[in-house]
Amino acid sequence: MFRKLTALLLTLTLSMGILPLSLAEDTQVINVAVTQTLETMNPLQISSTEVSKYAMGLAFYPLVELDRELNFVPQLADSITTEDNLTFTIHLDERACWSDGVPVTAQDVLFTFLIETSPSCVNASMMFYAIEGVSDDNTMPEGATEIPGIQILDDKTLTVTTKWPMALSTFENNFGRYILTVPEHVLKDIPRDQILTDPFFLHPTVVSGPYSIVDFDLNHYVHYQANESFFLGKPNVEYLNLVVTASTQLLAGLQSGEIDLVQQTTADIPMDDYDAVRALSGVTAVSGTPVTNQSIFIDVENVPDVRIRRALLLGMDREMILHELLHDNGEIVDAYLVSSSPYYSEELGVTAYDPDAARALIAEAKADGTDTHLTWHVNAGDSTFVQAVEYFAAAFEELGLQIDIRTVDLSTLMTVADAGEFQIMSVQYTYAPVDPYTDMVWLMSADGWTRYENEAMASALMDTQSLTDIEAITERFLAAQKIVVEDCPMISAYVLSALGAVSNRLVGAVPDVFGTFVNVHEWTVQ
């Protein structure tokens, strides 16, 4: 068994440049496949992608994380609380310490905020502008030593005050999961304008998470070694590798044993391989919680006639696509909240396929002079939905609507979306079930992809941030979603239940959309 693991590491060393190791006979190694290259391994430059967060979070522990049941569970912090949805109290685990034995303190958290809001280091992907005292461009004055909205109460406790009401789940999702605290005692003397490029981040010698980063190549791998001083206990598995792998190679890697884990948000098993993965011996396939929404965004400035937008919703046979192309690996919802969300309401229902109603709306709009020729931008890398759009386009032609399909790579699609240079575009989008507000308040705005403005919707979404009763919050999200379904600035084609997989030799690991790595230090290899 262990000779096989040593041979595997040597194979990875030769093929992907992973640091070769002299392994003892009983050394444990696990290989986690990811199908996305990494943008950075600097925790101060974390992006909103899950692969970025998990890759760095193994070394620089987040404050909290979501588990499989969508509960926020302690990580570096043992609690985050609020009494007024404005001031949030963060209490760090009393045991939390850096790998050099120095305690993790509230001052470390403040130091991290100060670095990330420095004009020379500002992280545009984070929402620091919501913190009292931080400017709208996410910065504090260069050299600032305090932030008005952050107060340290003691070594393990601090408060963060926001400029406007924020739901606890929104705070935990945006700050709790994505603030990766760095050690002040190691970095405090480095000039702010040099800290992002400091050699420390090429080989961090002091970490708070279960693993230390030994070596990495952003296009190929990250190699980790267990942190012996991890405050929750040294991980059972000594070495862990993130290996960047093509989606088409995941099945073969699982079959050969070269891949131990495929997690749903960091690796994409092709739909055509689902049955084959499920049939593998020695591997457990896990259908993830349906959260990844195949969203269809409509720029209402370029498609101003609501009758055409409604016809798009009514004229798509979404149930057929779910059954025929996805083989029922998912669900159909209207708007953006999935059934696993605590704010999901069955009252919204699902708009039925009604081609006759769609045909009538298209004819009425055309008679009034509305152009019935539309362009639809689709991610070329999503072959399943490209097929779906081709089917939809053929069906709409019979209903009187001509669709020009433009398949582009994801980078081009994002450029087109941000510039508003589209009529219809579709992309997989994961709205955090516990925090749909953050995405929706941007997407459904004049500055978002839809260029859509609706005061009633904006008010309903804002209400969700000041309320604490879950039924009241659900009612306000329901009101906002009803407007989405009526005006159709966005349509949900389907919600994908992505497939993950884990080798049966890896005990304790359960791949799912959320929560896979919360117990990584407890995993063992048989």
Distance CA 66, CA 75 (A): 10
Structure tokens at 148: 């008005």
End-to-end Cα, the chain, rounded Å: 9
Res. 381 pLDDT band, cuts 50 70 90: confident
The neighbour count for residue 26, using CB atoms within 10 Å, is: 9
Q: Which residue has the tokens 């190929």?
A: 220
| Spatial distance between the Cα atoms of 243 and 189, rounded to a whole number of angstroms | 34
Q: Is the dihedral of CA 391, 395, 396, 398 positive or negative?
A: positive
Express each pLDDT in 514-525 by its tens digit. 999 999 999 999
CA distances from 113 to 58, 99, 196, 199, 302 (A): 20, 21, 14, 20, 40
Residue 21: count other Cβ atoms within 10 Å of its Cβ. Answer: 17
294-342, pLDDT tens digit by residue? 999 999 999 999 999 999 999 999 999 999 999 999 999 999 999 999 9
pLDDT level of residue 30 (50, 70, 90 thresholds): very high
φ, ψ of residue 503 to 5 degrees: the values are -65, 140
Residue scoring higher pLDDT (265 or 222):
222
| The CATH classification of domain 292-496, taken from the options 1.10.10.10, 1.10.287.1080, 3.10.105.10, 1.10.630.10 | 3.10.105.10
Cβ–Cβ under 8 Å, residues 227 and 89: no
DSSP state of 509: -
| Residues 130 and 166: beta-carbon distance below 8 Å | yes
Distance, CA of 309 to CA of 357 (rounded, Å): 12
Q: How many CA atoms, within 13 angstroms, populate the side-chain half-sphere of residue 394? A: 5
The CATH code of the domain at 2-39+209-288+499-525 is 3.40.190.10
Give 96-110 pLDDT, tens digit per residue: 999 999 999 999 999
* 22 pLDDT tier (thresholds 50, 70, 90): very low
- Please give the order of strands across the beta sheet that includes 150-154: 77-82, 87-92, 157-161, 150-154
Superfamily, domain 60-195: Dipeptide-binding Protein; Domain 1 (3.90.76.10)
pLDDT confidence bin for 7, thresholds 50/70/90: very low
Sequence ranges of the domains in the chain? 2-39+209-288+499-525, 60-195, 292-496
In the structure, what pLDDT confidence band is assigned to residue 4 with cuts at 50, 70 and 90?
Answer: very low
DSSP structure string for 178-241: T-B---HHHHTTS-GGGGGG-GGGTS-S--SSSEEEEEEETTTEEEEEE-TT-TT---SSSEEE
pLDDT in tens, 396-451: 999 999 999 999 998 899 999 999 999 999 998 888 899 999 999 999 999 999 99
How confident is the model over 37-77, as pLDDT tens digits? 888 999 999 876 788 899 999 999 999 999 999 999 999 99
pLDDT of residue 2: 32
Q: For residue 461, give both structure tokens.
A: 């979404």
Supply the mean pLDDT for the chain: 92
> In the structure, what pLDDT confidence band is assigned to residue 382 with cuts at 50, 70 and 90?
confident
Q: What is the pTM of this model?
A: 0.87
CA distance 488 to 6: 55
Gap between the Cα atoms of 481 and 496, Å rounded: 19
Counting residues of the chain whose pLDDT is more than 90, the rounded percentage is 85
